[in-house]
Structure 1
């Protein structure tokens, strides 16, 4: 087991040279991808969602192509068998089990060395790319140490204050989080700019980020919009630019998180979930292309846990039909927001869904609208949530999708890997084993 991290001021110099490629010097890059909430049903659902109906065969996906094993997800005994994202990310980042809510600390709330921090001490470049706010549970568990995942401001502050050899721990940080980085009491964006960071707040400006300087990109107040509502391939786009900035004469460690598979699971939203999986698919293809050009790279994809207990085929019917989701141009949340603001004609409602609703479905939506509009004291977000629930039920019935919970489940999750050391991650393993293997790979790349 790795020793506790006793200090963050480590005596390793950070090089900023960008003279050759990794392949030239044989340096090993490690890319850890966490699909938050992606249990095995999600990869199965995505396979059927992507299936070409014109062929007899069900086509495989990139997740099938590189499946090498599974991982258990349970937290420290004090938290039982069902983990939260913080405890599981801490296990994946440190190799140590902890309690639910823990951010990079053990059960005694003592800081633990993370794989990202270890990489930084060994002169590797580091990057984090997520679709949540950048100080959410998973990225925080690689970059910070806090007794509670809920301490968002303190975690964000630590990104600026806690350094390794007088350097910020990350060279690239992309995701959401204006709310936590641009505050009345402190502007962390300005502080990072004063320390030499480039900053962008629009996807289009990612191309303007210069190689050779650290970079911060924040693109939303909290998490990014749903993939259904955002620019197509937003995670793949951010990842591609992060690779451009990190690819240099030194090996690098990068964390990529498809954060909102989990959020879709919590919301029991199969449409949002499948488009988050599509965004992850596009990202994995970017990484596959990178590995083809840089065979000294290892990519590991797993989930911290599964969310929602999603089931394909319900009510005794031997059916699962995701076809209508291909037609959707907006998330159920987006549609619900429109319907919470005003009464629309049947034609306008069909236009929002981008498919024709039955009379019964239209009646259910209009009835829910009447109900929430009649309550003048009902908060606007509660109106949205009530109408959104009706929309998701329509999609669930049409697709024959079921859910067992709005929380997490304790099932094992897939492990997917490709690149130089993919075989290391084969078989059934505990989530802590993944971190331990990455620690070993980081150490071996320095030898």
Structure 2
């Protein structure tokens, strides 16, 4: 080999080495924590209402990465919350009413089960009962979402480290007369059935449960107060409290946005949406300071065919007209709709949530954005 050729080979090797090093250095960081917020029944018009009716700038406006998901279930064009949440939790399409099972009714692993094997702390928060379809899909497996006592029993043996919501009666007023609250205590849970405390009062526990209503929590209009944003902040503090084991996954549901849609009650819906937006703010505040947390905000489906319409008024002579200076929330159905649903993401891996895709991809994108799908 000539001297000139040797120089060429050396330069080529150095070039490839540098490119490999640069590629390695430019590999995007993985998220260590994931906060998934699900506004049940929340479509684009529900989100838009915060921009007109919230007195402060909505936290939705803090996101730069936004996508859309298709939400159909395995057998229906329009999903329910059980099939929708199972898609998020387990990455499979299933039939309406199914909790943590595939279309053939076989159990499928959920995110809580997957990440707990890697010693990732987990939690669920909801303004409904904690046995309701959305939270249940992250820890339970039943062929029917209405099997609330079976779902409560699944919670007792699950890997959940923190939960907050309603549903006391499904633990201690059961047909089988078991007291599952005592079983939770045996499984190292601290239990509070009165009110959310502060972090200093619970940090000594290895697990924590807040059961603050017999069934669902009160609506905002009837005095629920700041439960959802406070529980969000408290749950994050609790799950990240151990220095040597501070990584976590938490799902936070604004349940009653959906119920306002079913009732065709715009005031109910908007008050719940604004409360949910406050919880989003708590998640983003933590993520911005932490730098290692992926925040995802989406919904299982839209409810009510909600629209921000111009207010219909009448002139003095009785003629109807649309007042474009005043907005009224209107509805086209008492049920769910098939509209595409927005996805908002912030933090490591957030860019992968842009685009249009199926709801099951939320599950897969979470695993891709973290190291949680690494079998080592």
| Both structures adopt the same fold (TM-score exceeding 0.5) | yes
Displacement of 1:228 after TM fit?
2.1
Report SS of the residue matched to 2:142: coil
- Say which of 18, 25, 47 aligns to 1:43: 47
Q: Distance in 2 between matches of 1:27 and 1:276?
A: 29
As a proportion of its length, which structure holds more helix? 1
Query: How far is 1:74 from its partner?
Result: 0.6
Are the structure 2 counterparts of residues 444 and 201 from structure 1 closer, same or farther at C-alpha, using a change threshold of 3 Å?
Answer: closer
> In the alignment, which residue of structure 2 is the partner of 1:34?
38
Output the TM-score relative to the length of structure 1.
0.70
Query: Is contact 2:196–2:210 with CA below 8 Å preserved after alignment?
Result: no
Partner of 2:147: 151
Per the alignment, residue 329 of structure 1 pairs with none
415-424 or 132-141, larger mean C-alpha shift: 415-424
CA distance in 2, matches of 1:275, 1:269: 10
Distance 1:82 1:142, change over 3 A: same
- Report if aligned partners of 1:35, 1:261 keep a CA contact under 8 Å in 2: yes
Cα deviation, residue 50, structure 1: 2.3
Structure 2 Cα separation of the partners of residues 270 and 152 of structure 1: 29
Counterpart-to-counterpart distance in 2, 1:149 and 1:93:
15
Change (3 A) 1:205 1:65: closer
**Shift, 1:401, TM fit:** 2.5
Aligned residues: 330
Runs of 4+ that moved beyond 6 A = none
SS at match of 2:197: helix
Distance in structure 2 (CA, Å) of the matches to 1:89 and 1:126: 16
* Structure 1 spans left out of the alignment, 5+ residues: 1-25, 53-59, 162-167, 322-398
Distance across 1 between alignment mates of 2:346 and 2:182: 38
The residue number in structure 2 matching 1:353 is none
Cα RMSD over matched residues?
1.9
Contact 1:104–1:145 under 8 Å retained in 2: yes
Q: Is the Cα–Cα contact under 8 Å of residues 86 and 102 in structure 1 kept in the other structure?
A: yes
> 1:312 touches 1:320 (CA, 8 Å); kept in 2?
no
Q: Counterpart in 1 of 2:329?
A: 401
Q: Secondary structure at the match of 2:220?
A: coil
Change (3 A) 1:320 1:269: farther
Q: Which of 177, 180, 187 does residue 170 from structure 2 map onto?
A: 180
Deviation at 1:428, TM superposition (A): 1.3
Larger Rg: 2
Q: Does 1:264 align with 2:256?
A: no
What displacement does 1:122 show?
Answer: 1.4
Label 1:320 to 1:199 Cα distance change in 2 as closer, same or farther (>3 A). Answer: farther
1:317 to 319, 322, 331: 322
> Is the CA contact (8 Å cut-off) linking 2:101 and 2:108 kept in structure 1?
yes
Shift of 1:320: 6.6
SS in structure 2 at match of 1:240: helix
Rounded to whole Å, the distance in 2 between the matches of 1:31 and 1:277 is: 18
How far the C-alpha of 1:204 sits from its partner, in A, is 4.3
Change beyond 3 A, Cα 1:86–1:204: closer
Identify if the C-alpha distance between structure 1 residues 411 and 186 changes in structure 2 by more than 3 Å, giving closer, same or farther: same
Gaps of at least 5 residues in structure 2 are 1-29, 313-320
After TM superposition, the score normalised by the length of structure 2 is 0.83
> Which of 199, 210, 217 is residue 191 of structure 2 equivalent to?
199
Secondary structure class of the residue paired with 2:360:
helix
